[in-house]
Amino acid sequence: MKGDALGRKFSFEFLCGRVNVSIFGFPDNFTVDFSVVSSRFSLVASSFNFLGAGAFVLHDSKVREFLNLVEKEFWIFVENVVARLENSANCRC
């Protein structure tokens, strides 16, 4: 395999939670990991569900919807970047 091993971790903080992104492997064979860590508010909202706190549950639902949208957009971005970079190491520009 060509190149040095990759090993990068990024975290993005939102009011509603944190997104962790890790990239590891080699330039021509790598893995991207995307994970969402819910905020404490989201965890508290889930525990109040049985008390009839519908507003908390609605907020939790919107948070999950937002983070799912972030993940979807992230993967579209990654696919586009990788498509542009494919075989770029072999380019004799």
Q: pLDDT tens digit string along 21-67?
A: 998 888 778 889 988 876 655 555 555 555 555 665 566 777 778 88
DSSP string of the chain? --SPPEEEEEEEEETTEEEEEEEEEETTEEEEEEEEEE-HHHHHHHHHGGGT-HHHHHHHHHHHHHHHHHHHHHHHHHHHHHHHHTTGGG---
Residues 6+ apart with CB under 8 A from 21: 9, 10, 11, 12, 32, 33, 34, 74
- Tell which wins on pLDDT, 24 or 2: 24
pLDDT at 18: 81
